[in-house]
Structures are given as structure tokens and as C-alpha cells.
């Protein structure tokens, strides 16, 4: 089943993406916390996992290219072991920033992933984010 799974403390920035995915017939799940991504089972092929968050210490302030690059360089060393541990056949990722709102979305694309593995990856990403100073919830 094709799926788009979205989570993170700045999830509201992905409302439009989730609506488009539903219109296209994709299975969708979303939650502010990774632990809330329950209810899926079996193989998800392909699957897009989106982690929507703010750069720690920046809040909802505008961010620059330098802020995004700095954040990527801090987060990527935590990301690699998560992805290597599960030994996925084919996975790609990119950080996408909305500079005026401070939102960063980590977009992971899996050719195929089991729903349980997807939840494992989401929980591990959230834990890494919190360890790097991120917050589990933001207010306006």
C-alpha cells in the first residue's frame, strides 16, 4: 500500500501535503508524536515519512540557509545509524526548509518498509531530535 506518514511538533505545516495525498488515494497517518503513528500494518510500498519540526533554539523565527546547513550537519550523524540499523533496500532523504516560518521537514522516501519499521524510524528520529534540544510541542 502506498503511504504518506507525517509527524512532528510542527505538523500543522503539513496539512496541505496530507490533504493532497488523501486526494491521490494514498494511505495517510499523522500525529504530533511518533508514538501516535499506530494503526498501520504490513508493507508500505512506497512510503514517504515526513518529520516536521523547528530548528532547536530558533523557534518560529525566520531561518537562513546557514541555519539549515548547520542543523543538517548536527542531525545527520544521528540519522545515519537509524537508517543503517534497519538495513533498508532503498531509502533517500532530504531536509526541506520553509525559511520564513522556521519549519524544517525531514523527508524520507522508502521503496518499501514494514509498518513496524516505519514506526521504529519515527520514534528514533523524534528521540534524536529531543536529544539535540528540540521540543516535543510548540506554541505559536
Indicate if the pLDDT at residue 89 is higher than 80: no
- In whole angstroms, what is the distance from residue 107 CA to residue 49 CA? 6
% residues pLDDT > 70 (the chain): 97
> Phi then psi for 97, rounded to 5 degrees?
-110, 140
Domains of the chain in start order, with CATH, are: 3-131 (3.30.70)
Q: Which three cell numbers stand for residue 81?
A: 545509524
In this structure, which long-range contacts are made by residues 79-83, counting pairs with CB atoms below 8 Å and at least 24 apart in sequence? 79/106, 79/125, 79/128, 82/121, 82/124, 82/125, 82/128, 83/108, 83/121
Q: Which three cell numbers stand for residue 2?
A: 502506498
How confident is the model over 111-135, as pLDDT tens digits?
999 999 999 999 999 999 999 999 9
Q: What is the pLDDT of residue 140?
A: 47
Confidence of residue 139 (pLDDT cuts 50, 70, 90): low
How confident is the model over 25-52, as pLDDT tens digits?
999 999 999 999 988 889 999 999 999 9
Confidence of residue 66 (pLDDT cuts 50, 70, 90): very high
Confidence of residue 138 (pLDDT cuts 50, 70, 90): low
Amino acid at each position: 500500500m502506498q503511504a504518506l506518514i507525517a509527524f512532528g511538533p510542527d505538523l500543522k505545516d503539513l496539512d496541505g501535503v496530507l490533504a493532497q495525498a488523501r486526494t491521490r488515494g494514498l494511505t495517510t497517518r499523522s500525529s504530533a508524536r511518533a508514538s501516535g503513528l499506530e494503526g498501520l500494518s504490513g508493507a508500505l510500498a512506497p512510503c514517504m515519512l515526513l518529520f516536521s519540526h523547528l530548528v532547536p533554539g530558533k523557534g518560529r523565527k525566520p531561518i537562513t540557509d546557514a541555519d539549515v546547513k548547520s542543523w543538517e550537519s548536527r542531525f545527520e550523524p544521528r540519522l545515519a545509524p537509524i537508517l543503517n540499523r534497519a538495513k533498508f533496500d532503498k531509502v533517500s532523504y532530504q531536509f526541506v526548509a520553509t525559511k520564513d516560518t522556521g519549519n524544517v521537514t525531514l523527508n524520507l522516501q522508502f521503496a518499501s518498509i514494514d509498518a513496524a519499521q516505519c514506526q521504529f524510524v519515527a520514534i528514533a528520529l523524534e528521540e534524536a531530535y529531543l536529544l539535540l534540544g528540540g521540543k516535543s510541542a510548540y506554541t505559536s
